[in-house]
Amino acid sequence: MGSMDTIRTGHQHARRAYRWPQPLAGQTERIWFGGDYNPDQWPREVWDEDIRLMRQAKVNLVSLGIFSWANIEVSEGVYDFSWLDEIIEMLGEAGIAVDLASATASPPMWLTQAHPEVLWKDERGNVCWPGARQHWRATSPVFREYALKLCRAMAEHYRDNPAVVAWHVGNEYGCHNRFDYSDDAMRAFQQWCVQKYGNIDAVNDAWGTAFWAQRMNDFSEIIPPRFIGDGNFMNPGKLLDFKRFSSDALKGFYIAERDMLSSITPDRPLTTNFMVSAPGSILDYDDWGSEVDFVSNDHYFTPGDAHVDELAYSASLVDGIARKNPWMLMEQSTSAVNWRQINYRKEPGQLIRDSLAHTAMGANGICFFQWRQSKAGAEKFHSAMLPHAGERSQIFRDICSLGSGLELLSEEGILNTRVVQSRVAVVFDYDSEWASEHTATPSQRLRHWTEPLEWFRALADCGITADVVPLNADWERYEAVVLPSVYLLSAAQAERIRGFVRHGGRLIATSYTGISDDKDHVWLGGYPGAISDVVGVRVEEFVPLGDDHPGAPVQLRLDMGGSAKDIADWITEIDDDTVIVAKYQDDPWTGMDGVPTITAHPFGEGMAAYVGCRMTHGDIASYIPRIANALGTDWQISQEGGKVLKVERVSDDGSQRFTFLFNRTHEVVSMPVEGEAVLLSLAEVDDGKVTLQVNGAVVLKH
């Protein structure tokens, strides 16, 4: 496995010092703009054209060598840096900086043929053979040895190269090799449990092994959650810990690479590309955020009416992971991707609109996968900055417009600003998502990740752009906090919530919040057991809703409109000072007619609302004015204003402020504005009013 100091359990509160890639000598700092570049996949004569077109598009950064191990170390210990040296020199002379990869993302064939023991295994023991990417196991000491040799060679060779401004460590860790069930992984998992729990009795307690005779006498009896038969149920505590371990194991591998590179080139900032999206919970990215010099993210759009909302939600979560330090969008698509069953293209205007939305949410680097669209391989139909159609294409014209626009924003001072803190924080928690994924829950339609997004969208419908923050971040500084189906709450987190409300905070907690502790042991006494005193209600039983059996309840109507979906809470007791905001009004046979569904309760100097069901974001939005009133807030709620997503960035001294406006609808929207229009895309400003076309965006400076 390697030394134990590379495996960290729990959340690391000490963060690496923030460092951002600096511009090339003689250049002024501006928003980084570019993308992944794979010159080794193209003939040499294409490179000159690439450089010409990059300069035309105002590209100033490319990520280089991500999947180039086989072309750098052509056989064991034999390195060929000639082609890489040449293209880096060409880029540097053109004023284009390099974010250089450690090149370890996928091992070459010579390595896996000589050492098949580095290949990961699935839960049935099947080997993941070479043929795609990320076919290595994070817990293999053999693979680590080879990878660190490559890191050392890369760092020593490019330690003094002025064109290299940052290290791109690995690539999308865990995208394909998140879980490994090999014997290497088993031994590492045992070691991880030793470090976390100290003795086997503590493991038995955490995993509840008294159930189904799973008690263990020694750490050697711990095995990964391998195949246990179709339709059977894995121990929830064990599975949750294995997900935590898997994140830590990959993080330990990343740290080993990072430290090798940093030991040789200490002046160069390092990052790796996360995959934060609404459903993207492969790793605990908030935990990982403390281990990079600057946060980077890969984000790919969700087709349909959630497109801009999901993008803004995810970008806000990245901003929260970065603790509002500038971050880099390392990958996005110019149009279609290649990995969905139906790969929808982006609508006109969305390429520029999406990039500006990430910028609004704190990204000071806007990059794409990839520069030139591949003509062969599995990603040949994935869009790129320079598509198959070449420079005479709308995509490339949009890329050039975007490059000029980002340069203009840089000149206007956007780099001196950060995202303005919202009054409302929506909380997301990786552990709660992982626990909610278990196959033995009240409903398989319940997942944590869907609810923060629904609440973000509902608040946006009311004209409120919330911040999305990880559970372990400092959300106490917000006026109001939403806990949307945060299934796991440790005793410490529950006490944080009590302190927040007791000292005047406003809380909105929803169904399926505070059900279990951090070991996934249910809080007893009625739901939400962790914070029932704060919200002033007692839930006796879940009421799952669905359409898989004729005659079963599909939804429950609320007395003021809207309906519950997926799950409702049977609230049987409320405190004397709890106010009922809404109740069910449905058929008596459901047993829910007249049962409270939304309540408000004073706690200390603050107030806590409880929403005892799941609803669509539209139904949530219809109740937000009532909830806000019950909480005693003075939010400026506007359903009409909800047509436009508004985000602000401001300098630390308040002297510079930028307002970003994005059309959330498929209709033309107009609204009064103040400030000077700096950048317009499918929009116009006239006489103090902005008109946004579909997918329109405007940036105003104050």
Please list, residue by residue across 493-518, b when 16 or more beta carbons sit within 10 angstroms of its beta carbon and e when fewer do: bbebbbebbeeebbbbbbbbbbbbbb
331 part of the active site:
yes
Catalytic residue of the set 172, 291, 437, 451: 172
Yes or no: say if 481 and 425 are a contact pair by the CB < 8 Å rule.
yes
Task: For residues 121 and 179, give the distance between their C-alpha atoms in angstroms, rounded to a whole number.
Answer: 8
The DSSP call for residue 420 is P
Establish whether 171 is an annotated binding residue: yes
Establish whether 69 is an annotated binding residue: no
Q: What is the CA radius of gyration of the chain?
A: 26
Between helices 450-461 and 617-631, what is the axis angle to 10°? 70
257 part of the active site:
no
**Structure tokens, 274:** 């996360």
Beta strands 644-651 and 417-419 are: antiparallel
**Structure tokens, 645:** 């997503």
**Structure tokens, 618:** 């539209």
Task: For residues 447 and 428, give the distance between their C-alpha atoms in angstroms, rounded to a whole number.
Answer: 12
**Which DSSP string do the residues of 323-369 spell out, in sequence order?**
TTS-EEEEE--SS--SSSSS-PPPPTTHHHHHHHHHHHTTEEEEEES
Apex 450 CA angle, 233 and 234, nearest 5: 10
Q: Cis ω on the peptide bond leading into residue 528 (within 30° of 0)?
A: yes
H/E element, 570: strand 563-574
Beta strands 676-686 and 689-701 are: antiparallel
Give 480's strand partners.
424, 506
Please list, residue by residue across 630-663, b when 16 or more beta carbons sit within 10 angstroms of its beta carbon and e when fewer do: bbeeebebeeebbbbbbbbbbeeeeebbbbbbbb
Please give the single-letter amino acid code of residue 430: Y
Catalytic residue of the set 331, 451, 454, 648: 331
Task: For residues 384 and 336, give the distance between their C-alpha atoms in angstroms, rounded to a whole number.
Answer: 9
Task: For residues 226 and 320, give the distance between their C-alpha atoms in angstroms, rounded to a whole number.
Answer: 35
Neighbours of 344 (CB within 10 A): 14
**Structure tokens, 6:** 């590379």
Yes or no: say if 488 and 518 are a contact pair by the CB < 8 Å rule.
yes
Establish whether 83 is an annotated binding residue: no
Residue numbers belonging to the annotated binding site for substrate:
133, 171, 339
Which residues make up each annotated binding site? 133, 171, 339
Enzyme catalytic residues: 172, 331
